[in-house]
Structure 1
Amino acid sequence: MSRIKPYLYSLVSSQGLLKLQRAVAEWRRKQADKPHLVSVYLRINDPHSYLLLQVLPILAERYNIDFDFRTVLRLQEDMYPAPQLWEQHAFADSAFLANQHGLTFPKTPPTTTPALAKYATAQLLHAELQGDYLEQATEIFKHYWHDQEDALNTCIDPRIQRNMECYQHHLLANETRLHNNGHYLSAMLHYGEKPGGEWYWGLSRLAYLEQRLTALGAVKNVTTPSPSTELNTKPNAASNTGNNGESTPISDKIPIILYWSARSPYSYLGLVRAKALAARYDIPLIVKPVLPMVMRRMQVPRQKGLYIFKDTKREAEKYGIPFGFAADPLGAAVERCYALVDYASEQHCANLFLEIFTRSVWSEGIDAATDTGLKKIVEAAGLDWSHAKTLLNNNDWRHWAQENLLDMYDKGLWGVPSFHYRQLSVFGQDRLDRVECALREVYIAEQI
């Protein structure tokens, strides 16, 4: 079965299957004479929802689409291992994105009460069936996020406020629909019926939705700018390549620290991208491996893992990183990898070894739980397999892996990949743009 799995992973993430599923979904849409329908899941206390809401009018003006708004509120506990830290980072990330893209956002989190959030949610649920959801939501979200409690109260019908329990089934239906369709986040866009339904997270994945709508001929107004293109070309926006790929060395050599897991597909992308970023600024990259969540006896529900795998595939293609022909390294393969990190460090090739390991398991289908597979990885990194195989039963790495975990927690982080540079700590390979902005500021300061 282990030999078959890479082919199954490759099939699940293949362009051929994706095109077929999209074609089936489009055929069904036409047969049913339905419009291009984009489901939008918004949460009043989610800053990413507030940013997404601000670009939806432009999206509707450019594309021949209808919106199906679905208000949610409660987070799925098994999907968020550290919900408070998630919310803190979501606010900081959204403030960064708003500044980069010229969107409206507060300087500090709102102080509105949880009860008011529930009232606002009920009002939004009511508006879903009125036809003017976008207009109502724009006002409600604005007042909520800018701490305008009196103005927010004027948007909430007192009859709704007095009958909150009447909206609980409506809320549950929306949250169940989100879950059953394969997701857990808010600020989500969903397009296409099964098997061609796909998820697009907020501003970060909006371009993928636009690409699909454009391919379907759904552009109705070419004079209206593409929202994702506009977002990516705002002045001072952090690029993915940085200064056209030119070297911009920084003299103080303070490193980027990457908290990383051999089992995380996003960590694979994060390592490749962070390595290139560190090289552009001629500073060190220190990788601190931690055990995968499942090996730390935490939960990663299947639907979360499936979304991550598919999302990593399109992100990998975006950055030109091979991915998809995978041999999941969970368990013994991860342990064998970590057992060799100290040896690779002694040979001054730890980062290279970890990059080759993740490329091998996530794009070449190499089973690192076997000696045959791990030998290929070890030798590709320039290490001696005859020595390496004598180290595989060494468990000293378990101490430093857990120390790395505590160090990650101490930085206000909870998952991988996460990055720390100077005073900045960010979660997710998406937020390497924040790290790059911090690097640019240091570089510019050194030139003055």
Structure 2
Amino acid sequence: MTLTAELYFSFRSPYSYLSVGRYRAMAEEYDLEIALRPVWPLAIREPDFFERNHPNWLAYTLRDMMRVAQFHGIPFGPPRPDPIVQDPGTRKIAAEQPYIRHVTRMGQAASRRGKGLVFAHEMGQRIWGGEENWHHEKPMYAACEEAGLDFLELDDEIKREADNLDAEIAANQDALEASGHWGVPTLVFEGEPFFGQDRIEMARWRMEQQGLAKR
């Protein structure tokens, strides 16, 4: 019996990136379908988040994400450019956000085709794996190709259906909060949320209780 789950994911979240490849591997090894549900990052949903956070938050998060990547052997580097346009000194979020809106809409369009998880992993490797100018057409085209998608088809769709895609992305956030959490990455299985890249083994344990089997 094929089990199903939803992964709530942000392309700007390093922890989302650090989880998505492992969830992809799980879905490939087990009789499991994980539907990607892209959401806008905190910087879009709560633009003052970084301004009001504890001063130790950023330094600790940077240290932690690096060691998680090292621990799991995941290629990791600062995104170039950052998916969010933000003043590095004041941390103020710019009103116009072309990078994150484009890639998130691409992710939602991929999810419409049942290939969101693979696309998120492929695109995540380009954003967080140290590739420069990940937002240009060539790396996006390559990510789509690796995911079995047509870049030009997706790019045309997000231009024609930006409002509809944005509504679906907003609905993903509503569904995430209805599940009992609000942050990413969160995997929801049978209505139970598993928040964070450190809950993957626990999510699999719960699935095994429901008959998760290898392919």
* Interval of TM-score (by shorter of Structure 1 and Structure 2): 0.7 to 0.9
Is structure 2 residue 170 aligned with structure 1 residue 402? yes
Q: Choose which of 271, 290, 315 in structure 1 pairs with 2:39.
A: 290
Is structure 2 residue 127 aligned with structure 1 residue 374? no
Is structure 2 residue 171 aligned with structure 1 residue 426? no
Alpha-carbon spacing, 1:347–1:399, altered in 2? closer, same or farther (3 Å): closer
Alpha-carbon spacing, 1:405–1:343, altered in 2? closer, same or farther (3 Å): closer
Is structure 2 residue 204 aligned with structure 1 residue 436? yes
Aligned-residue CA RMSD in angstroms?
A: 2.4
1:99-128 Cα deviation digits (max 9, x unpaired)? xxxxxxxxxxxxxxxxxxxxxxxxxxxxxx
Unaligned ranges ≥5, structure 1: 1-250
1:36-83 Cα deviation digits (max 9, x unpaired)? xxxxxxxxxxxxxxxxxxxxxxxxxxxxxxxxxxxxxxxxxxxxxxxx
Find the aligned partners of 2:130 and 2:74 in 1 and give their Cα distance: 12
Q: How does 1:228-267 map to 2 (within 5 A)?
A: 251=1, 253-267=2-16
Find the aligned partners of 1:387 and 1:410 in 2 and give their Cα distance: 32
Q: 1:329–1:367: 8 Å Cα contact kept in structure 2?
A: no
Deviation at 1:288, TM superposition (A): 0.7
Deviation at 1:435, TM superposition (A): 0.8
Alpha-carbon spacing, 1:431–1:386, altered in 2? closer, same or farther (3 Å): closer
Alpha-carbon spacing, 1:343–1:293, altered in 2? closer, same or farther (3 Å): closer
Q: 2:38–2:107: 8 Å Cα contact kept in structure 1?
A: no
SS at match of 1:367: coil
Report sequence identity in percent: 26
Q: Choose which of 79, 89, 107 in structure 2 pairs with 1:341.
A: 107
Question: What residue is the counterpart of 1:307 in the other structure?
Answer: 60
Q: 1:287–1:351: 8 Å Cα contact kept in structure 2?
A: yes
Q: 2:79–2:131: 8 Å Cα contact kept in structure 1?
A: yes
Q: Choose which of 19, 29, 32 in structure 2 pairs with 1:280.
A: 29
Alpha-carbon spacing, 1:303–1:386, altered in 2? closer, same or farther (3 Å): same
Is structure 2 residue 154 aligned with structure 1 residue 388? yes
Q: Choose which of 322, 326, 335 in structure 1 pairs with 2:75.
A: 322
Q: 1:333–1:367: 8 Å Cα contact kept in structure 2?
A: no
Q: How does 1:27-426 map to 2 (within 5 A)?
A: 251=1, 253-298=2-47, 299-300=49-50, 301=53, 303-327=56-80, 328-330=82-84, 331-345=97-111, 347-393=113-159, 394-395=161-162, 396-426=164-194
Find the aligned partners of 1:413 and 1:351 in 2 and give their Cα distance: 20
SS at match of 1:413: coil
Deviation at 1:303, TM superposition (A): 4.3
Find the aligned partners of 2:143 and 2:111 in 1 and give their Cα distance: 15
Deviation at 1:439, TM superposition (A): 1.9
TM-score when normalising by structure 1: 0.40
Deviation at 1:347, TM superposition (A): 4.8
Q: 2:158–2:165: 8 Å Cα contact kept in structure 1?
A: no
TM-score when normalising by structure 2: 0.78
Q: 1:261–1:289: 8 Å Cα contact kept in structure 2?
A: yes
Deviation at 1:430, TM superposition (A): 0.8
SS at match of 2:128: helix
Find the aligned partners of 1:401 and 1:365 in 2 and give their Cα distance: 26
Q: 2:127–2:134: 8 Å Cα contact kept in structure 1?
A: yes
Highest Rg: 1 or 2? 1
SS at match of 2:8: strand
Deviation at 1:373, TM superposition (A): 4.2
- Which one scores higher on RCO, CA 8 angstroms, separation ≥ 6? 2
SS at match of 1:324: coil
Q: 2:14–2:65: 8 Å Cα contact kept in structure 1?
A: yes
Alpha-carbon spacing, 1:366–1:389, altered in 2? closer, same or farther (3 Å): farther
Find the aligned partners of 2:207 and 2:30 in 1 and give their Cα distance: 8
Find the aligned partners of 1:349 and 1:377 in 2 and give their Cα distance: 12
Unaligned ranges ≥5, structure 2: 85-96
Find the aligned partners of 1:367 and 1:305 in 2 and give their Cα distance: 24
Find the aligned partners of 1:384 and 1:255 in 2 and give their Cα distance: 25
Alpha-carbon spacing, 1:315–1:343, altered in 2? closer, same or farther (3 Å): same
